[in-house]
Structure 1
Amino acid sequence: MTRPPLRARLLSALAGDPDGTPSWVRALADGDDRGYFADGGAAWTVHAGTATFVAGIRALLIQALHPGAMAGVHDFSRYREDPIGRLTGTVRWIICVTYGSTEQAHAETARVGRLHQRVSGTYSTDAGPRSYSASDATLVEWVHLAFTEAFLGAHQRWGGPIPGGADAYVREWAQAGRLMHVADPPESEAALRSRMDAYLDRGELVSDARVAEVVRFLRDVRFTGSMRLAYRVLFAAAVASLPRRYRKLLGLRRTLLPVVTATRIVLAVSSRALGSGPRAQDFARQRHRRLQNAMNTDGSAIPSAADEVS
């Protein structure tokens, strides 16, 4: 059997579709406003880069350190049986919020919210059982913080310049946090890191058998062939790029291999493969062009997300 080309394998993993154009990607061309984030802005730039491949792994490792978040993953996530499906679900939310119209961003956030409604239960602590829910303010905040830190950190190591700098990315992506009902999300890199350090300082992050299970799984996700080799490099990159305190808590060590250089090679090959066909931002730009043409025709202004944000 002929192996699918690299682009098809990457897009199957990321979007659940070998062409990268499931209905929710094509819908990026629809809508009546420019969305929450500007073309060429910080969020578009960071999320368009292949450093996101490292960031996704890094975010999962950091998120797992919160026992409430870890309990939800352990009790409800399909990551063991369907890791690709779990990945594409997360990618879908990121892409729709980043590149979609405000209507699509809200619809996708509502879809995720419905999935989270059933995620609740209890987990054990030294002080006894403690309840958790995916809607808990602390858990929602932690997931947002871990995501923002991971995507920013990976891009700083393997991506290019960020328009407006790191603070611009944290400030822009705070809007995604607000969509998920994060109260007062940080809007600068310093505030982000200070907020995360507070979790460590309060002793709210722990490593236990469940965390070790997730780490073992993430270390050896079931890819085959060149994808398997590439993933091993990306996992090593995620570990190497973690702030030392998180890496130590996870019980992970940096590899002795030249992981930074190896990761640059893997990401460059992936970028060339993905660049051979349309990507999510191309569909978003179709919407922008349609709206711009309409404005040129009737002289009206293009609605912007800023008009909807109080």
Structure 2
Amino acid sequence: MSAGDCGLFGPDSVTWRVHREPMVTVGGLRSLYLQALHPRAVAGVEQNSRYRQDPWGRLARTSTFVTTVIYGTTEEAEKAGLRVRRLHARMTAVDRRTGERFRIDDPELLRWVHVTEVESYLSAVQRGGLRLRPEEADEYYREQTRAAALVGLDPATVPDSVAAVDAYYERMRPQLELTVDSAATGIFLTMPPLPYGLGLTPVRGAAFSVSALAIGLLPPWARRLYGLPGLPTTDLVTSVNARVFGRLLRKVPIEWIESPARKRAFERLGLRN
């Protein structure tokens, strides 16, 4: 391992700019609401995951994977991707609508999860105040095809621009619906159990506010699938709230919320925050 290995992206990448923003956390939550609208994607999670019993452990593992891919060395990122591919290769689930068994590593499902994640990260940080030129937003998607390859996708099949992502959503919308699994997942995401008795404290209200912001950041068509308002006024109010919340989060010292992977990357490359 080279001491100066920048990994898949590096400090000059748009990816590092996007993921420095604390609003990516809200984007991650937004992506889960989107993913749950794909009947097979949500069935795969429901039938193979213990997220209801250990939601915060699941969150920590997902966060570790994402930050390793972004900030880890090339070797660390590739090993993280290999672990995920091996895990998914052993998993199957049953489509409750048809009774058909399917593989979790079906490229269609992997692509849906990837696109909803990266689009949600980008949408959240931009509406939270990060200014990117159109070509920089496109570059972010192009960079993220490297992450898509790690989980087993052919980069050539992954949307790699704002226009391509928009077109992908248009193609996917007829396949999306609110199932029993997706409704249950949406409720769980909105009111998850909090550890250490925090559910009986003001933290519950703060957590609900973050969930409400993530829901508000959804595309109007996704909110309508959940039976929620898809009006332009909702987008306007959410954008104002996101900008205020993003500004508040940027006042938090990076050292307080910095991931271990990012800290190691800065030390490895001799960078300063």
TM-score (norm 2): 0.85
How far apart are 1:259 and its partner, in Å?
Answer: 4.7
Indicate the residue corresponding to 2:212 in structure 1: 236
The within-5 A match list for 1:47-86 is: 47-86=19-58
| Residues in 1 aligned to 2:212 and 2:226: alpha-carbon distance in whole angstroms | 14
Of structures 1 and 2, the larger Rg is shown by 1
| Residues in 1 aligned to 2:237 and 2:128: alpha-carbon distance in whole angstroms | 14
Indicate the residue corresponding to 1:179 in structure 2: 150
| Residues in 2 aligned to 1:226 and 1:104: alpha-carbon distance in whole angstroms | 39
1:110 aligns with 2:82: yes
Indicate the residue corresponding to 1:304 in structure 2: none
Which of 65, 84, 99 matches 1:93?
65
| Residues in 2 aligned to 1:31 and 1:278: alpha-carbon distance in whole angstroms | 24
In structure 2, give the amino acid aligned to 1:65: L
> How many residues are matched?
258
| Residues in 2 aligned to 1:112 and 1:69: alpha-carbon distance in whole angstroms | 16
Q: Return closer, same or farther for 1:181/1:135 CA change in 2, 3 Å cut-off.
A: same
TM-score (norm 1): 0.76
In structure 2, give the amino acid aligned to 1:279: E
| Residues in 2 aligned to 1:273 and 1:199: alpha-carbon distance in whole angstroms | 38
| Residues in 2 aligned to 1:103 and 1:260: alpha-carbon distance in whole angstroms | 38
Q: Which runs of 4+ in 1 moved over 6 A?
A: 254-257
Indicate the residue corresponding to 1:302 in structure 2: none
5+ long unaligned stretches in structure 2: none
Please give the root-mean-square deviation of Cα atoms over the aligned residues, in Å: 2.5
How far apart are 1:270 and its partner, in Å?
Answer: 4.1
Which of 264, 268, 273 matches 1:283?
264
Which of 33, 43, 51 matches 2:15?
43
Question: What does the per-residue CA deviation read over 1:272-295, in whole Å, with 9 as the maximum and x for residues that have no partner?
Answer: 4452447243321221239xxxxx
| Residues in 1 aligned to 2:163 and 2:170: alpha-carbon distance in whole angstroms | 10
| Residues in 2 aligned to 1:189 and 1:262: alpha-carbon distance in whole angstroms | 23
Q: Return closer, same or farther for 1:52/1:135 CA change in 2, 3 Å cut-off.
A: same
Which of 193, 211, 228 matches 2:166?
193
In structure 1, give the amino acid aligned to 2:51: Y
How far apart are 1:170 and its partner, in Å?
Answer: 0.8
Aligned-pair identity (%)? 32
